[in-house]
Structure 1
């Protein structure tokens, strides 16, 4: 496991977070890459005492983009940094901007990107769309379900890990009775972006998923 090996070395551990505004951040909500960096550093300082390890999560998010555009940024924003882990958040804009994107074409671009990452030996974690109001309105609901399925299939075919943000947030809303007002940034007129609380919970869940995948650390 590339990340596990990097954590055993002396050099800094680099994780690249590629994606759209969910990754880049919006308004005054601190996006998940910075929170994940903090939680991982804290874990390897307090739970697994490794104060000598430096973990950097590099935010390569760019608002409004989808996998189609992000493929063109791989050389500069991923390959150049040679990260131990690539986190790729995809699929939201394919649904939100359904007048601009075709979800089947985007799914094909996700497959292309995963093939490139795997060919270079990168460890990859894919994040699917957020379960929020805007993704459930009118024809977007059906498109969102399709996009989530296509991302799952692409991750399975490429043998990479998938963080199921859609399912996690749906569980919060349906099973835990967390309202959309508690999940969404109320200052966002698009009703698309997560608020501080849900971003924090997402970041913690992501940290836990990474730690679980790593297994016991000596």
Structure 2
């Protein structure tokens, strides 16, 4: 990467296990994702913000699907505080289920 942040890879690393319910949502043509995080989610300078990366990748791979990305990033927030707002900022958005054990 030679210190050039624009060259940070955008290709996702494959999961060890599939996301069958999320894949079903994409197959129906509509999927919603929620990104929660802090400054690392926001990006900086010419580094694209995290929520835009998977959104663009998925939209390119599934051009006929409506993919919504909700960005619940609050700069400077610690993970323990993010966990406290999980229900109010993530679950309330009703993202598509990512696994068989999703409530």
TM range, normalised to the smaller chain? 0.5 to 0.7
Cα offsets for 1:62-112 (capped at 9, x unmatched) = 1111221002211221111111257xxxxxxxxxxxxxxxxxxxxxxxxxx
Q: Distance in 2 between matches of 1:80 and 1:20?
A: 19
Counterpart Cα distance in 2 of 1:67 and 1:23: 12
2:51 matched residue in structure 1:
33
Q: Counterpart of 1:42?
A: 60
For 2:73 and 2:60, locate their aligned partners in 1 and report how far apart those are by CA, in whole Å: 23
Structure 1 residue 20, shift from structure 2 partner: 1.3
Q: Distance in 2 between matches of 1:85 and 1:56?
A: 14
Give the TM-score normalised by the residue count of structure 1.
0.34
- The change in CA–CA distance for 1:23 and 1:72 in structure 2 (over 3 A counts) is same
Larger Rg: 1
Point out which structure has higher relative CO (alpha carbons under 8 A, 6+ apart): 2
Instruction: List structure 1 runs of 4+ shifted beyond 2 angstroms.
Output: 24-30
Q: Which runs of 5+ in 1 are unaligned?
A: 46-50, 87-117, 123-218
Matches within 5 A, 1:102-181: 121=102
SS in 1 for 2:82: helix
Structure 2 residue corresponding to 1:24, chosen from 28, 31, 42: 42
Deviations 1:4-37 (A, max 9, x none): 1211224x31011111111123345321211221
Q: 1:2 aligns with which of 16, 21, 40?
A: 21
